[in-house]
Structure 1
Amino acid sequence: MVDRPGARVRAAVVGTGLIGGSVLLRMYDAGIDVIGWDPDEATRRETRRAGVPAPDRLVEAVADRDVVFLCGPLPTLPATLVEVAAMTGDRCVLTDVGSTKEQVTAFAAAQGLTHRFVPGHPMAGTDRSGLTAARPDLLTGAAWVLCPAPGPSTTSFRWLAELLVEVFEARVVPMSATEHDSAAALASHVPHLLAGALAGAVQRAPLRDAILALAAGSFSDGTRVAGTPADRTANMLLGNRDLVLRELAEVTVFLDDLAAALRADDAPALTARYDEARAARAALRDRRFDAYDRQFPAGGDHAAEVSWLRELGVAGGHLTGLRVDADTVSYTARRLVAD
């Protein structure tokens, strides 16, 4: 288990909905000393019924913790970050699970919290919400983005990354906040727009009930995230608005190409576009990785280490382990094998 020297890890989870609740339940099952807290009294009672401590006061949940996961709605994150930072010691690592990273990273820097706040985003979820939908295995093996920065914050990144690998078997993907938001716009956020558009069009259609009766896998797969609570989707899209709109424009160009080929009765052009799309789908299914190790000095300004970490994430790679000793930090990584 990842421990502070001579002590068991002490964790807290603030906001115990779907993601926060899943973080909480997994850590509890792993034997970590973890406390949950949620602003909703009924959710706190539900947490206690699950056997996990959940005090009524936030300060009681986060005081004397080694790490605090901030898992509330995106609009509440800045205020919660400041509040929890004031209630915890300077060595307490703070992280979040929000689906956008650039705004909160800039906010933490302005508050002087970069040295202990490590922005994070586990790439997992369901179309349900709340603690009752949480599962201890929801995040197992997930790609979990962490945003490292050079300087003292690198130490916090290392510690948190090791914890996530050990407890969640996470594939830690190191990226800058800007790179994360750009990639997530097309990987996660635009799909919510497309799913909402398709499901919304069916909801308005005169033959709605007949369409739903005929709907099979393609409709179900393509609209799954349209079942996500609407306020959660809206917060995500607004939090990354500019990049989502930029990537939506690229999707629109491709859709227009398909529509133009269809209008022109141009089978070769239509086939070519779908061959292009099919290549991306095949690449997702058939990805292969090779493993390698990389070492860096444990001390210093860590600029070279952070540069390598970010390059790894942008290239489609991830971390599967790391070890820190007195002089050296050793990473075990998996790189995407080029076709």
Structure 2
Amino acid sequence: MEAFRRIAVIGTGLIGGSILRRAHDAGIDVIGCDPDPGTAEIASRLGLPFTADVGTAVIGRDLIVCAAPLDAIRGGFDAIAASMDDGGVVTDVGSTKTDVLAAASSLAGRFIGGHPMAGTELSGLAAADPNLFTDAPWVLCPPSTILIEPLRSLVGFVTDVMRAKAIVIDAERHDETVALSSHIPHVLAGALAGAAAASPMAPTVTALAAGSFRDGTRVAGTNPDRTVDMLLHNRQAVLDQWGGVAGFMDEVLEAVRDNEHETLIDLFTGAATLRNAVVARAMTTRTRTFASGDGAAELAYLRELGAVGGYVTGCVPSGLATTYTAETPA
């Protein structure tokens, strides 16, 4: 399968709108689709091809990106399947993957779950940024039955057009990981901001809030509908991972209560180590080439790379082989 040439983006909020704008800036034939009249007006001002009808949007497209809210994504697959051409590939940008993959049964063999790990507390097409995904991880969760050709093309779209870093992992691992890395941070940010809002000291908190408070509560400014959507659709993984967070918090508070200086140093040293690894993780760049008929080994490589936290940063297919450039933890 060659690179995608005609793309539809269904749902044009922050993430979908940023995909739409980036693809349009890259010279790709792309159309956005959203039922909101206000969004259509913004698209018109930005010079973006647009329609309110899903059937019109997906006809003749070789890649369809579902970027609507999670409930709408899951409910829209049948409509997409009924209108799209044979051979087209569908992906999504939802923050949970197990339930989305299960809902995409009508797109068997053509659907690959996706989740770009980028965003802001803003929302809507007006906040869309064509550079939002640059160097950001973009998770791809292919079902076990997927062929290598559509996955290869989607990896190339993520790395070469969106300028992101593709990481291929299974849906269950994705949901457990983002519960801790993305969804629970919204809980913590909301708890801190909510406690401050309910405190009689709220006026002075807002006056004295330093960088630590602003950074720690940034995602509390996210549209509450988006936050609730992600928490409830991944609720079991959030509840499973919350035990570790609550346990750590209990250890910290117990050490504060008992004036245990060294225990606190140990706890926060471990936390700082992880934080520093997030900010500046040492990576090694490697390339790997696969012959065109070696799809099973190619797919296994992508899964193994994702399992160790590695990224694909480039995908160059030719008639005889495909070469990947990847970053792996040093």
With the length of structure 1 as denominator, give the TM-score of the two structures: 0.93
State the Cα distance separating 1:98 from its structure 2 match.
Answer: 0.6
CA contact (8 A) 1:150 1:306 kept: no
The answer as to 2:59 corresponding to 1:66 is no
State the Cα distance separating 1:242 from its structure 2 match.
Answer: 0.7
**Which of the residues 241, 255, 261 maps onto 1:247?**
241
* Counterpart for residue 308 of structure 1: 301
CA contact (8 A) 2:54 2:79 kept: no
The answer as to 2:50 corresponding to 1:54 is yes
* Counterpart for residue 273 of structure 2: 279
SS of 1:34's equivalent? strand
Q: Deviations over 1:271-319 (max 9, x none)?
A: 111111111112222311111122334336x444333212211211100
State the Cα distance separating 1:154 from its structure 2 match.
Answer: 2.4
CA contact (8 A) 1:190 1:244 kept: yes
* Counterpart for residue 20 of structure 2: 24
* Counterpart for residue 77 of structure 1: 73
**Which of the residues 133, 140, 158 maps onto 2:134?**
140
Mapped partners of 1:44, 1:58: distance in 2: 14
Moved more, 264-273 or 133-142: 133-142
Query: Which amino acid counterpart does residue 320 of structure 1 have in structure 2?
Result: T
SS of 1:136's equivalent? coil
**Which of the residues 160, 176, 179 maps onto 2:173?**
179
State the Cα distance separating 1:321 from its structure 2 match.
Answer: 1.2
Moved over 4 A (4+): none
C-alpha RMSD of matched pairs (Å): 1.5
Q: Deviations over 1:117-149 (max 9, x none)?
A: 111011110101111111111122211111134
State the Cα distance separating 1:243 from its structure 2 match.
Answer: 0.7
* Counterpart for residue 330 of structure 1: 323
Mapped partners of 1:333, 1:180: distance in 2: 19
SS of 2:50's equivalent? coil
* Counterpart for residue 295 of structure 1: 289
1:152-301 to structure 2, matched below 5 A, reads 152-299=146-293
Q: 1:152 to 1:230 in 2, by over 3 A?
A: closer
CA contact (8 A) 1:172 1:320 kept: yes
With the length of structure 2 as denominator, give the TM-score of the two structures: 0.95
Q: 1:107 to 1:261 in 2, by over 3 A?
A: same
Gaps of 5+ in 1: none
* Counterpart for residue 41 of structure 2: 45
The answer as to 2:29 corresponding to 1:33 is yes
Query: Which amino acid counterpart does residue 211 of structure 2 have in structure 1?
Result: G
CA contact (8 A) 2:112 2:142 kept: yes
State the Cα distance separating 1:327 from its structure 2 match.
Answer: 4.0
Identity %: 45
CA contact (8 A) 2:98 2:171 kept: yes
Gaps of 5+ in 2: none
